[in-house]
Structure formats: C-alpha cells, structure tokens
C-alpha cells in the first residue's frame, strides 16, 4: 500500500552513490523513484550537525535515498543534503529529502 496519492507525484531519476572504486572515486547506480516535489527554500536543523539551507525538498517512500545521492528533475541535478524519516498515514514511513541547486 502506498501512502502517496496516485497522480500527485512525479517520477525523478535517483543517482545513488553505491561504493568506491579501486581509484577512490565513487560509483553510482541509477533508478527512478516517485516523489512529491516542493520548490521551497528552508533551513534544516540537524541535531549535532551544522544547519543546511535547502533550495527544495521532496517526499518519497523510497528507502534507498541517502545523503550524497542526487535527484535529477527536468534536466537539473539536485544533490541530496539531508534525509529524514517521518511517519505518514497508517504508520508507514515517508522520507523527507532536502536538496540543493548546486550541481552534484
């Protein structure tokens, strides 16, 4: 069961940082995920870490999204600055993915 309403979200490309190669460079895997996107600046307060200014955020049920990944929407790549988990309807987890306009 999905808690994201049908037709409300959009599909974006997720570039997931998966490992480090023999030369110390990150390797990535690409996939598509469903999100609800918000073009809204906000400051994210992170416990025990420096606050970050985000240019946008999205909601997703995809549990694989992590910091240092990137989302591509409309040809623009948005680095993932922070990911938080919140409880949605019916007790299901929903991820809040905070993004930057700076290129990954």
Query: What is the mean pLDDT for each group of 10 consecutive residues in the chain (104 residues)?
Result: 68 92 91 94 87 92 91 94 85 89 65
Per-residue confidence (pLDDT) for residue 104, from 0 to 100: 47
Counted domains in the chain? 1
pLDDT at 22: 93
What's the pTM?
0.83
CATH of the domain at 24: 2.40.10
pLDDT of 4 reads: 61
- In sequence order, the 6+-apart residues with CB closer than 8 A to the CB of 57 are 38, 40, 42, 96, 97, 98, 99
| Segment holding 86, helix H or strand E | strand 76-87
In a domain, 104, yes or no: no
Does residue 2 lie within any of the structural domains?
no
Is residue 5 in some structural domain? Answer: no
Distance CA 14, CA 48 (A): 27
Range of the domain at 86: 10-99
């Amino acid at each position: 069961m999905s808690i994201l309403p049908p037709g409300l979200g959009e599909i974006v490309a997720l570039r997931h940082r998966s490992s480090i190669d023999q030369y110390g460079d990150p390797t990535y895997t690409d996939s598509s995920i469903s999100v609800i996107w918000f073009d809204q600046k906000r400051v994210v307060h992170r416990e025990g870490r420096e606050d970050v200014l985000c240019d946008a955020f999205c909601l997703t049920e995809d549990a694989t999204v992590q910091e240092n990944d990137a989302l591509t929407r409309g040809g623009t790549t948005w680095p993932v600055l922070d990911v938080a988990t919140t409880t949605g309807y019916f007790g299901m987890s929903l991820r809040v993915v905070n993004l930057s306009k700076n290129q990954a």
